[in-house]
Each structure stands twice: as structure tokens, then as C-alpha cells.
């Protein structure tokens, strides 16, 4: 009788160990499949992020090239205007009001006592440089704004939920703080 009980006990232990190993192998295979699925999803997400990054890089490069062209065109126009002023082909003048009927340049004033005074080329250059510098700053600021918008658009594309299980943010009026108790209650319903 002892031998039968001992044989049954040994058979039970061997069966339990074999079952444990088989169950462990099945569980490990399921976990491996889950990890492989997660890796595939993350690889797909990484590829999407990398593509968005490439697109953003191209967009930023395009914006910089556009700005460089605009700056070059503005520089050429500015220097051409300065050259015309220096040669005397173009004159800059400012309106002035006279008290005695003649301006300081010897021109006759109109009935309201207004005439214009011509600017020397150096004064004209200094005045124009203020506007030129301001225009350059505006172009730079516009490029910064365009780059910000491009980056924001790309990040909004990345943040939009596309995969099952991704969270969708609630509208601000519908937002309720989530607590551990509310999550537990939701799981049991």
C-alpha cells in the first residue's frame, strides 16, 4: 500500500510540475505575443513620428529659404534706392511750414505756408535705414510665427488619438477629475 501511495504522490508531483511548466510556457508565449504586438505598435508610432519630423524639417527649411529670398530682395531694393539717392536720381524731401513765405531751400511756399525741404543723401540713408531695419525685424518675426505654426500643426497631428486605447481629452466643460475610486467603480460596472 505504501508503494501505491508513494507512486501516486510521485505521479502527482511530476504531473503538477509538468502542468506548471506547460502552463508557464503557454503564459510566456501569450506574454511574448503581447510584447511583440506592443513592439509593432510602437515601431509604427515611431515611424509616424519620424515621418512627421522629416516633414517638419522640410517645412522649416522651406520657410528659411523663403525668408532668405525675401531678405535678399529687400536688400537689393534698399541698396538700389540708396544708390539712386547718392547719384541724385532720386530726391527725398519732407514737408515743412514756413513763416515768411520762403523755405530755407529758397522755394516759394504755398498759400498755407507749406513747402518741402530736400534731404541730403546721408540723412536720407539714416532715415531709410530705420525703416529697413524695422522691415527686416518684421520679416524675421513673421518667419518665427510661421515656424511656430508649422511645429504646432505637427504636434497636434502627433497628439491626435489614432490608435485604439489612446485617450481622448474631454471638453473643458465635461472634464471631471478621475480618482482611484471612480476607476474601480467603472471597472466593476
Q: Does residue 36 register a pLDDT over 80? A: yes
pLDDT band at 7 (very low <50, low <70, confident <90, very high): confident
The pLDDT-based confidence of 164 (bands split at 50, 70, 90) is: low
Which residues, 6+ apart, have CB-to-CB distance to 78 below 8 Å?
Answer: 128, 132
Residue 24 phi/psi, 5° resolution? -65, -40
Predicted confidence at residue 28, as pLDDT, reads 78
* 33 compared with 101, residue with greater pLDDT: 33
Span 126-138, mean pLDDT? 94
Between these two residues, 166 and 137, which has the higher pLDDT value? 137
From residue 78, alpha-carbon distances to 69, 70, 94, 132, 177 in Å are: 14, 12, 19, 7, 59
Top-ranked range on mean pLDDT: pick from 16-25, 30-39, 124-133: 124-133
pLDDT at 42: 92
179 band by pLDDT with thresholds 50, 70 and 90: very low
Q: How many CB atoms lie within 10 A of CB 85?
A: 19
Residue 117 · residue 93 · CB < 8 Å: yes
Q: Considering the entire predicted model, what is its pTM? A: 0.55
Residue 22, pLDDT > 90, answer: no
- N- to C-terminal Cα distance for the chain? 54
2 or 171, greater pLDDT: 2
Amino acid at each position: 500500500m505504501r508503494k501505491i501511495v508513494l507512486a501516486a504522490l510521485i505521479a502527482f508531483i511530476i504531473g503538477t510540475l509538468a502542468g506548471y511548466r506547460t502552463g508557464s510556457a503557454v503564459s510566456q508565449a501569450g506574454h511574448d505575443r503581447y510584447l511583440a504586438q506592443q513592439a509593432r505598435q510602437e515601431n509604427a508610432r515611431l515611424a509616424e513620428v519620424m515621418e512627421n519630423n522629416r516633414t517638419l524639417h522640410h517645412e522649416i527649411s522651406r520657410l528659411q529659404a523663403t525668408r532668405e529670398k525675401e531678405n535678399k530682395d529687400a536688400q537689393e531694393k534698399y541698396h538700389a534706392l540708396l544708390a539712386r539717392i547718392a547719384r541724385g536720381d532720386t530726391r527725398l524731401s519732407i514737408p515743412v511750414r514756413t513763416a515768411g513765405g520762403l523755405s530755407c531751400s529758397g522755394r516759394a511756399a504755398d498759400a498755407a505756408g507749406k513747402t518741402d525741404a530736400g534731404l541730403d543723401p546721408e540723412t536720407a540713408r539714416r532715415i531709410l535705414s530705420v525703416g529697413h531695419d524695422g522691415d527686416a525685424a518684421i520679416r524675421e518675426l513673421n518667419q518665427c510665427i510661421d515656424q511656430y505654426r508649422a511645429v504646432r500643426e505637427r504636434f497636434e497631428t502627433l497628439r491626435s488619438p489614432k490608435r485604439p486605447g489612446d485617450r481622448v481629452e474631454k471638453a473643458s466643460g465635461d472634464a471631471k477629475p478621475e480618482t482611484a475610486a471612480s476607476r474601480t467603480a467603472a471597472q466593476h460596472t
